[in-house]
Amino acid sequence: MLDLLKNPLLYMGLLLISLNLVSLLTPLKAAATYFDLGISMGVIVFLFNEKLMSLAVMTCLLLLYANLPFKNDLQLSLIVRSSTSTWFVAQIGYVFLLSIGYPIILLLLSGLVLWQQVELTHEWGKLLGSIAYYPSLLEEFSIFLYPSNGVMTTYTPLEAILFTLTLLMLVSLFAGVLILTFNLIYSGLGFAIYAVLMFVEFSLMFFPGYAIKYFSPLSWLSLERISLSFMDNLPSMTYVVTFLVVSIITCLLAIFFLLKSSRFRERVINE
Protein backbone atom coordinates (compact mmCIF):
# COMPACT_ATOMS: atom_id res chain seq x y z
CA MET A 1 0.00 0.00 0.00
CA LEU A 2 2.97 2.34 0.49
CA ASP A 3 3.66 2.02 -3.24
CA LEU A 4 0.07 3.13 -3.89
CA LEU A 5 0.51 6.30 -1.82
CA LYS A 6 3.65 7.11 -3.82
CA ASN A 7 1.85 6.58 -7.11
CA PRO A 8 1.09 9.93 -8.84
CA LEU A 9 -1.78 8.26 -10.73
CA LEU A 10 -3.67 8.00 -7.42
CA TYR A 11 -3.62 11.75 -6.97
CA MET A 12 -4.46 12.37 -10.62
CA GLY A 13 -7.56 10.20 -10.19
CA LEU A 14 -8.59 11.90 -6.96
CA LEU A 15 -8.11 15.32 -8.57
CA LEU A 16 -10.26 14.28 -11.53
CA ILE A 17 -13.09 13.14 -9.25
CA SER A 18 -12.79 16.20 -6.99
CA LEU A 19 -13.08 18.59 -9.94
CA ASN A 20 -16.19 16.79 -11.18
CA LEU A 21 -17.74 16.82 -7.70
CA VAL A 22 -17.17 20.56 -7.37
CA SER A 23 -18.57 21.14 -10.86
CA LEU A 24 -21.72 19.09 -10.17
CA LEU A 25 -22.44 20.12 -6.59
CA THR A 26 -21.62 23.85 -6.70
CA PRO A 27 -24.80 24.82 -8.65
CA LEU A 28 -26.82 22.67 -6.25
CA LYS A 29 -25.25 24.51 -3.32
CA ALA A 30 -26.18 27.81 -4.96
CA ALA A 31 -29.82 26.68 -5.17
CA ALA A 32 -29.72 25.54 -1.54
CA THR A 33 -28.38 28.95 -0.48
CA TYR A 34 -31.03 30.77 -2.53
CA PHE A 35 -33.91 28.81 -0.95
CA ASP A 36 -32.18 28.57 2.46
CA LEU A 37 -32.40 24.77 2.44
CA GLY A 38 -30.04 21.94 3.34
CA ILE A 39 -28.84 19.23 0.94
CA SER A 40 -29.46 15.60 1.85
CA MET A 41 -26.35 13.42 1.75
CA GLY A 42 -28.47 11.14 -0.42
CA VAL A 43 -27.56 13.41 -3.32
CA ILE A 44 -24.45 11.29 -3.92
CA VAL A 45 -26.58 8.47 -5.36
CA PHE A 46 -27.46 10.74 -8.29
CA LEU A 47 -23.86 11.58 -9.14
CA PHE A 48 -23.68 8.64 -11.53
CA ASN A 49 -26.69 9.87 -13.50
CA GLU A 50 -24.29 12.37 -15.04
CA LYS A 51 -22.08 10.92 -17.76
CA LEU A 52 -18.98 12.99 -17.04
CA MET A 53 -18.99 11.91 -13.40
CA SER A 54 -19.32 8.27 -14.44
CA LEU A 55 -16.42 8.76 -16.85
CA ALA A 56 -14.31 10.35 -14.09
CA VAL A 57 -14.99 7.47 -11.68
CA MET A 58 -14.26 4.82 -14.31
CA THR A 59 -11.11 6.61 -15.48
CA CYS A 60 -9.92 6.88 -11.88
CA LEU A 61 -10.36 3.11 -11.50
CA LEU A 62 -8.25 2.60 -14.60
CA LEU A 63 -5.52 4.83 -13.15
CA LEU A 64 -5.60 3.02 -9.80
CA TYR A 65 -5.26 -0.37 -11.48
CA ALA A 66 -2.74 0.82 -14.09
CA ASN A 67 0.15 -1.06 -12.45
CA LEU A 68 -1.57 -4.45 -12.20
CA PRO A 69 0.04 -6.88 -11.83
CA PHE A 70 2.64 -4.87 -9.93
CA LYS A 71 6.11 -6.38 -9.91
CA ASN A 72 8.52 -4.48 -7.69
CA ASP A 73 11.63 -6.12 -6.22
CA LEU A 74 9.70 -7.38 -3.18
CA GLN A 75 7.03 -9.01 -5.33
CA LEU A 76 9.58 -10.67 -7.58
CA SER A 77 11.45 -12.04 -4.56
CA LEU A 78 8.17 -13.52 -3.29
CA ILE A 79 7.81 -15.43 -6.55
CA VAL A 80 11.42 -16.61 -6.62
CA ARG A 81 11.86 -17.52 -2.93
CA SER A 82 8.41 -18.65 -1.85
CA SER A 83 5.53 -19.29 -4.21
CA THR A 84 3.07 -17.60 -6.51
CA SER A 85 0.34 -18.06 -3.87
CA THR A 86 1.92 -15.35 -1.69
CA TRP A 87 2.21 -13.10 -4.72
CA PHE A 88 -1.44 -13.85 -5.58
CA VAL A 89 -2.59 -12.80 -2.08
CA ALA A 90 -0.65 -9.53 -2.39
CA GLN A 91 -2.20 -8.71 -5.77
CA ILE A 92 -5.76 -9.55 -4.73
CA GLY A 93 -5.30 -7.82 -1.38
CA TYR A 94 -4.36 -4.65 -3.25
CA VAL A 95 -7.54 -4.86 -5.36
CA PHE A 96 -9.76 -5.60 -2.34
CA LEU A 97 -8.37 -2.70 -0.29
CA LEU A 98 -8.84 -0.28 -3.17
CA SER A 99 -12.38 -1.54 -3.77
CA ILE A 100 -13.32 -0.95 -0.14
CA GLY A 101 -11.53 2.39 0.15
CA TYR A 102 -12.81 3.86 -3.12
CA PRO A 103 -16.49 4.25 -2.08
CA ILE A 104 -15.41 5.65 1.31
CA ILE A 105 -13.17 8.23 -0.36
CA LEU A 106 -15.99 9.27 -2.72
CA LEU A 107 -18.36 9.66 0.23
CA LEU A 108 -15.84 11.75 2.18
CA LEU A 109 -15.04 13.97 -0.81
CA SER A 110 -18.75 14.58 -1.43
CA GLY A 111 -19.29 15.47 2.21
CA LEU A 112 -16.32 17.82 2.08
CA VAL A 113 -17.68 19.67 -0.97
CA LEU A 114 -21.15 19.97 0.61
CA TRP A 115 -19.72 20.60 4.09
CA GLN A 116 -21.70 23.63 5.36
CA GLN A 117 -24.96 22.71 3.64
CA VAL A 118 -25.07 18.96 4.07
CA GLU A 119 -28.16 17.71 5.88
CA LEU A 120 -28.08 14.39 7.73
CA THR A 121 -31.68 13.25 7.56
CA HIS A 122 -33.71 10.13 6.82
CA GLU A 123 -35.63 12.08 4.15
CA TRP A 124 -34.59 13.30 0.72
CA GLY A 125 -35.27 16.90 1.70
CA LYS A 126 -37.22 19.72 0.09
CA LEU A 127 -34.48 20.75 -2.33
CA LEU A 128 -34.01 17.39 -4.07
CA GLY A 129 -37.76 16.77 -3.98
CA SER A 130 -38.46 20.13 -5.61
CA ILE A 131 -35.88 19.57 -8.35
CA ALA A 132 -37.29 16.10 -9.07
CA TYR A 133 -40.83 17.45 -9.45
CA TYR A 134 -39.93 20.77 -11.08
CA PRO A 135 -37.16 20.08 -13.63
CA SER A 136 -37.24 23.75 -14.67
CA LEU A 137 -35.07 24.42 -11.61
CA LEU A 138 -32.25 22.50 -13.33
CA GLU A 139 -32.04 25.09 -16.08
CA GLU A 140 -32.63 28.04 -13.77
CA PHE A 141 -29.61 27.20 -11.60
CA SER A 142 -27.56 25.41 -14.31
CA ILE A 143 -27.74 22.13 -12.38
CA PHE A 144 -26.49 19.11 -14.32
CA LEU A 145 -27.13 16.62 -11.53
CA TYR A 146 -30.76 15.52 -11.74
CA PRO A 147 -32.48 13.58 -8.95
CA SER A 148 -34.55 10.60 -10.08
CA ASN A 149 -38.12 10.64 -8.81
CA GLY A 150 -38.31 6.85 -9.21
CA VAL A 151 -35.27 6.27 -7.00
CA MET A 152 -36.55 8.73 -4.39
CA THR A 153 -39.93 7.01 -4.13
CA THR A 154 -38.41 3.50 -4.05
CA TYR A 155 -35.55 3.98 -1.57
CA THR A 156 -34.88 6.00 1.55
CA PRO A 157 -31.69 8.10 1.37
CA LEU A 158 -29.84 5.64 3.64
CA GLU A 159 -30.91 2.64 1.56
CA ALA A 160 -29.92 4.37 -1.67
CA ILE A 161 -26.52 5.40 -0.27
CA LEU A 162 -25.77 1.87 0.98
CA PHE A 163 -26.83 0.30 -2.33
CA THR A 164 -24.77 2.81 -4.34
CA LEU A 165 -21.63 2.38 -2.22
CA THR A 166 -21.99 -1.42 -2.32
CA LEU A 167 -22.39 -1.38 -6.10
CA LEU A 168 -19.36 0.91 -6.43
CA MET A 169 -17.35 -1.52 -4.29
CA LEU A 170 -18.45 -4.53 -6.38
CA VAL A 171 -17.84 -2.75 -9.69
CA SER A 172 -14.40 -1.61 -8.47
CA LEU A 173 -13.56 -5.15 -7.41
CA PHE A 174 -14.86 -6.53 -10.70
CA ALA A 175 -12.77 -4.02 -12.67
CA GLY A 176 -9.65 -4.85 -10.66
CA VAL A 177 -9.80 -8.63 -10.98
CA LEU A 178 -10.84 -8.38 -14.64
CA ILE A 179 -7.85 -6.18 -15.51
CA LEU A 180 -5.50 -8.37 -13.45
CA THR A 181 -6.75 -11.62 -15.02
CA PHE A 182 -6.37 -10.54 -18.63
CA ASN A 183 -3.12 -8.64 -18.02
CA LEU A 184 -1.69 -11.91 -16.71
CA ILE A 185 -2.73 -13.62 -19.95
CA TYR A 186 -1.27 -10.88 -22.14
CA SER A 187 0.18 -7.55 -21.08
CA GLY A 188 -2.31 -4.73 -21.68
CA LEU A 189 -5.21 -7.03 -22.59
CA GLY A 190 -7.05 -6.25 -19.35
CA PHE A 191 -6.96 -2.53 -20.04
CA ALA A 192 -8.25 -3.10 -23.58
CA ILE A 193 -11.22 -5.11 -22.29
CA TYR A 194 -11.94 -2.48 -19.63
CA ALA A 195 -11.89 0.18 -22.37
CA VAL A 196 -14.45 -1.88 -24.30
CA LEU A 197 -16.69 -1.95 -21.21
CA MET A 198 -16.39 1.83 -20.94
CA PHE A 199 -17.42 2.10 -24.59
CA VAL A 200 -20.39 -0.20 -23.96
CA GLU A 201 -21.48 1.96 -21.03
CA PHE A 202 -21.47 5.12 -23.12
CA SER A 203 -23.15 3.40 -26.07
CA LEU A 204 -26.24 3.19 -23.86
CA MET A 205 -26.68 6.91 -24.51
CA PHE A 206 -27.51 6.04 -28.13
CA PHE A 207 -29.02 2.55 -27.73
CA PRO A 208 -30.95 2.73 -24.42
CA GLY A 209 -33.56 0.15 -25.39
CA TYR A 210 -31.20 -2.66 -26.31
CA ALA A 211 -30.24 -5.76 -24.30
CA ILE A 212 -26.70 -4.37 -24.01
CA LYS A 213 -27.75 -2.83 -20.67
CA TYR A 214 -27.73 -6.35 -19.18
CA PHE A 215 -24.02 -6.67 -19.97
CA SER A 216 -22.77 -3.23 -18.97
CA PRO A 217 -21.45 -3.55 -15.38
CA LEU A 218 -20.02 -0.03 -15.35
CA SER A 219 -23.48 1.46 -15.94
CA TRP A 220 -24.88 -0.17 -12.81
CA LEU A 221 -23.32 2.48 -10.59
CA SER A 222 -26.50 4.46 -11.21
CA LEU A 223 -29.60 3.16 -9.42
CA GLU A 224 -31.61 4.64 -12.28
CA ARG A 225 -30.14 1.92 -14.54
CA ILE A 226 -31.45 -0.84 -12.27
CA SER A 227 -35.06 -2.03 -12.28
CA LEU A 228 -37.44 -0.22 -9.94
CA SER A 229 -40.52 -2.11 -11.16
CA PHE A 230 -41.52 -5.01 -13.42
CA MET A 231 -42.41 -2.58 -16.21
CA ASP A 232 -39.13 -0.79 -16.87
CA ASN A 233 -37.25 -3.57 -18.72
CA LEU A 234 -34.03 -3.04 -16.76
CA PRO A 235 -31.79 -5.57 -14.97
CA SER A 236 -32.94 -6.24 -11.42
CA MET A 237 -30.79 -5.65 -8.35
CA THR A 238 -30.58 -9.43 -7.86
CA TYR A 239 -29.34 -9.88 -11.43
CA VAL A 240 -26.78 -7.09 -11.07
CA VAL A 241 -25.30 -8.35 -7.79
CA THR A 242 -25.29 -11.98 -9.00
CA PHE A 243 -23.59 -11.01 -12.28
CA LEU A 244 -20.87 -9.05 -10.49
CA VAL A 245 -20.23 -11.66 -7.78
CA VAL A 246 -20.12 -14.57 -10.25
CA SER A 247 -17.80 -12.59 -12.55
CA ILE A 248 -15.47 -11.74 -9.66
CA ILE A 249 -15.31 -15.37 -8.50
CA THR A 250 -14.71 -16.56 -12.08
CA CYS A 251 -11.80 -14.13 -12.49
CA LEU A 252 -10.29 -15.17 -9.14
CA LEU A 253 -10.45 -18.83 -10.16
CA ALA A 254 -8.89 -18.00 -13.52
CA ILE A 255 -6.03 -16.16 -11.78
CA PHE A 256 -5.53 -19.10 -9.41
CA PHE A 257 -5.21 -21.59 -12.29
CA LEU A 258 -2.94 -19.24 -14.23
CA LEU A 259 -0.59 -19.13 -11.27
CA LYS A 260 -0.42 -22.92 -11.22
CA SER A 261 1.38 -22.84 -14.55
CA SER A 262 5.16 -23.23 -14.28
CA ARG A 263 5.54 -21.14 -17.43
CA PHE A 264 3.80 -18.25 -15.68
CA ARG A 265 6.54 -17.85 -13.06
CA GLU A 266 9.23 -17.68 -15.71
CA ARG A 267 7.27 -15.16 -17.78
CA VAL A 268 6.56 -12.84 -14.83
CA ILE A 269 10.20 -12.83 -13.75
CA ASN A 270 11.60 -12.31 -17.24
CA GLU A 271 9.15 -9.63 -18.43
Please give the pLDDT value at position 100: 93
119 φ, ψ (degrees, to nearest 5):
-125, 115
Residue 133 CA, distance from chain mean position: 28
Q: Which residues contact 44 (CB under 8 A, 6 or more apart)?
A: 106, 107, 110, 161, 164
Q: What pairs with residue 119 in β-bridges?
A: 40
Per-residue pLDDT at 116? 82
Q: Please, how many CA atoms are within 13 Å of residue 223, restricted to the half-sphere of its CB?
A: 28
Q: What is the pLDDT along the chain (271 residues), one digit of tens a residue?
A: 555 666 777 788 888 888 989 998 999 999 888 888 889 999 999 998 888 888 888 888 888 887 777 655 445 455 555 556 777 787 888 899 989 999 999 999 998 998 888 887 888 988 898 888 888 888 888 888 888 888 999 999 999 999 999 999 999 999 999 999 998 888 888 899 999 888 887 777 666 666 778 888 888 998 988 988 777 788 999 999 999 999 999 999 998 888 776 666 665 555 5
Cis bond before residue 69 (omega within 30° of 0): yes
Q: How many domains does the chain have?
A: 1
Q: Tell me which residue range forms the domain holding 74.
A: 2-270
Residue 264 pLDDT: 62
On whether the CB atoms of residues 19 and 108 are closer than 8 A, the answer is: no
- How far from the centroid of its chain's Cα atoms is residue 246's Cα? 18
Q: Is the separation of the CB atoms in 172 and 58 below 8 Å?
A: no
pLDDT on residue 158: 92
Indicate left, alpha or beta for 254 from its phi (over 0: left) and psi (-120 to 50: alpha). Answer: alpha
Compute the distance between CA of residue 265 and CA of residue 118 in angstroms, rounded to an integer.
51
**What SS3 state is found at 119?**
strand
- How many helices (H) does the chain have, and how many strands (E)? 12, 2
Predicted pLDDT of residue 176: 93
Amino acid occupying residue 132 = A
pLDDT of residue 95: 92
Distance between CA 198 and CA 193 in Å, rounded? 9
